[in-house]
């Protein structure tokens, strides 16, 4: 069974969608550990409710980014994690972390990459930028993590319409609904060995 390590920073609804997909038998995997960049967030509560080992590892308690990441790597290895799933994890991970799990880290981003992504585009800022720009379509992207910010090979994308009366909040809610479908689907494809990375492209094998 594929062992997942889920990294979170907030409410953890994407973590929940993965847990629910496993419990429903849709996804054959196990959440081996949940690690949060912040104490007291609801995602940690969700992990505890499902008896998943959960830790908060805060950057401020480490002298360097490398030592911070080493602690996270240590916990992931301790729990024999095979795929790292970033689910609303707001800290940017350095190449040091990425090299510890080459092509074994996935991220979900609430826009159609390469639009509205990269440095500074996180959380509600993404949806604000989409509305300010006047885009008619946004969406969700699940991608492998490489050494850049939101630049890794794209696994799945889903378009979501922007309505005239959208606020960042209403748009975020519509996008989040799709996130909860697409992330379990991407992890499922990975767990079935159906994702093949060819340069920038991810081929989904039948």
The residues assigned a catalytic role are 109
DSSP output for 36-55: ESSTT-HHHHHHHHTT--EE
Query: What is the smallest separation between the CB atom of 188 and ligand GRF, expressed in angstroms?
Result: 17
Q: Pick between residue 70 and residue 170 the one whose CB is nearest to ligand GRF.
A: 170
From 124, 142, 100, 178, select the one nearest 10 (Cα to Cα). Answer: 124
Query: What is the smallest separation between the CB atom of 162 and ligand GRF, expressed in angstroms?
Result: 15
- Distant-in-sequence, close-in-space partners of 155: CB < 8 Å, separation ≥ 6: 106, 142, 143, 144, 186, 189, 190, 195, 202
Total residues belonging to the chain: 206
- Distant-in-sequence, close-in-space partners of 69: CB < 8 Å, separation ≥ 6: 93, 94, 96, 97, 100
The reply to whether omega before 114 is within 30° of 0 (cis) is yes
Q: Pick between residue 110 and residue 184 the one whose CB is nearest to ligand GRF.
A: 110
Query: What is the smallest separation between the CB atom of 169 and ligand GRF, expressed in angstroms?
Result: 12
As beta bridge partners, residue 105 has 84
Q: Pick between residue 121 and residue 190 the one whose CB is nearest to ligand GRF.
A: 121
Query: What is the smallest separation between the CB atom of 94 and ligand GRF, expressed in angstroms?
Result: 18
* Inter-residue contact 87 to 12 (CB < 8 Å): yes
Q: Pick between residue 91 and residue 188 the one whose CB is nearest to ligand GRF.
A: 91
Instruction: Give contact residues for ligand GRF (rule: CB under 6 A).
Output: 8, 10-14, 43, 87-88, 108-110, 123, 176, 179
Residue with the CB atom nearest ligand GRF in the bound state: 88
């Amino acid at each position: 069974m594929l062992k997942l390590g889920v990294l979170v920073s907030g409410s953890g609804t994407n973590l929940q969608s993965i847990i629910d997909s496993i419990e429903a038998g849709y996804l054959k995997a196990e959440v081996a550990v949940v690690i949060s960049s912040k104490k007291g967030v609801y995602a940690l509560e969700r992990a505890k409710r499902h008896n998943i080992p959960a830790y908060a590892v805060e950057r401020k308690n480490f002298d360097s980014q490398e030592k911070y990441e080493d602690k996270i790597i240590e916990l992931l290895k301790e729990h024999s994690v095979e795929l790292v799933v970033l689910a609303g994890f707001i800290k940017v991970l350095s190449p040091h972390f990425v090299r510890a799990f080459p092509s074994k880290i996935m991220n979900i981003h609430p826009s159609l990459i390469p639009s509205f992504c990269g440095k500074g585009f996180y959380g509600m800022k993404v949806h604000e930028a989409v509305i300010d720009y006047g885009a008619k379509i946004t969406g969700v992207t699940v991608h492998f993590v490489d050494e850049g910010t939101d630049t890794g090979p794209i696994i799945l994308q889903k378009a979501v319409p922007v309505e005239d009366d959208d606020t960042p909040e209403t748009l975020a809610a519509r996008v989040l609904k799709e996130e909860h479908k697409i992330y379990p689907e991407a992890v499922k494809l990975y767990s079935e060995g159906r994702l093949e990375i060819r340069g920038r492209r991810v081929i989904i094998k039948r």
